[in-house]
Amino acid sequence: MVLTPSIEQVAPSLESCNGAIENCEKIYTDVTFPETHNAHSTLDEGFSFLAANHRENISQQWDAGFRAFMLDIHHSRYSQDLVNTSFCHGSYDTGIHPCVHGSRNAVELLSSLHLKMNESPNDVVTLLFEVYVPYSHIVYILETSGLIENAHVQNLNEPWPSIRQMVDSNRNLVIFIEGASDENYPYLHSFTEHGWTTNYGDRFPEGMNCDVLRGDSSQPVWHMNNWLALESGLTDYLRAPVVNAYDFLLNRSLECWEVHGSRPTFIAVDWWTEGEAVNVTMTLNQMNHWSDEVPLRATTDSR
């Protein structure tokens, strides 16, 4: 068990990349990014508690230090037109359209994200889209929001560039999709081809492990999913403080790093305000190997 070291305050420099100057020269897969699961599904954006995964919206997530976001793309319940492409959360299996429980216009949300990226030009951002629309609709929301100009293209099995290279080329947005790759859309990377993920929505903290659920475990990009679900499948708000706690999250990250020989690229959480995912990634990013001495706990004033 890793014990929490004493706390020291760390203020990210204006010259820093994703929270630290040292990250700038690291390759993309040598940095651990804090990630929000269903980042659009928030109570303050009007999502019902049945569909919400967070209290505060993506702009507040950004201000807290998150730079990776999982988003579900659907057609609006009113129309399948491009302009109504939306971020929603829910299952069609219930016979109820997912957008009934809340929705966020995709262009509006991505446009606000683009503004945030322009304010922090040294940061690399990652999106993982769960897709229920044609790829052409993804292109539309990326083009209309202006984000298409920032989209990085990564050829499979080629080395990833450094954060600095991505920033200097203005290609500081990585997009993964839950779907097959298509040569017509080279910037939409199939996440199961380019990476892998652990299980998600575990019932109990002790059931969380480092096993590969989906994807190619030979790839260095991977998501450590870290949220609990109730028997109904809904996200478990009450126990979020348990699995999002600094020591729990740090120890699980180090264990999985040891098991797989590569650091988690993403630590994905629900109810991010109930925990310290950003602070854990700051600590991990000061380490080059899972066996390194754990540095003094880095903290932000994000909450």
CATH numeric code, 7-299: 3.20.20.190
- The per-residue pLDDT for 80 is 84
> What is the residue extent of each domain of the chain?
7-299
Residue 168: CB atoms within 10 Å: 14
Q: What is the mean pLDDT of the chain?
A: 92
pLDDT of residue 13: 47
Its sign, for the CA torsion 113, 18, 227, 241, is negative
The residue among 121 and 94 whose pLDDT is bigger is 121
pLDDT digits (tens, 9 = 90+) for 132-146: 999 999 999 999 999
Which residue did the predictor score with more confidence, 71 or 302?
A: 71
Segment 2-26, tens digit of pLDDT: 444 433 434 444 589 999 999 999 9
* pLDDT greater than 80 at residue 208: yes
How confident is the model over 43-57, as a mean pLDDT? 93
Flag whether the pTM goes above 0.85.
Answer: yes
Q: Is 53 helix (H, G, I), strand (E, B) or coil?
A: coil
Residue positions counted in the chain: 303
Mean pLDDT of all residues in 271-299: 93
Residue 161 buriedness (CB in 10 A; 0-12 / 13-18 / 19+): middle
As a whole number, mean pLDDT of residues 172-177 equals 98
pLDDT band at 55 (very low <50, low <70, confident <90, very high): very high
Residue range 192-207, pLDDT digits in tens: 999 999 999 999 999 9
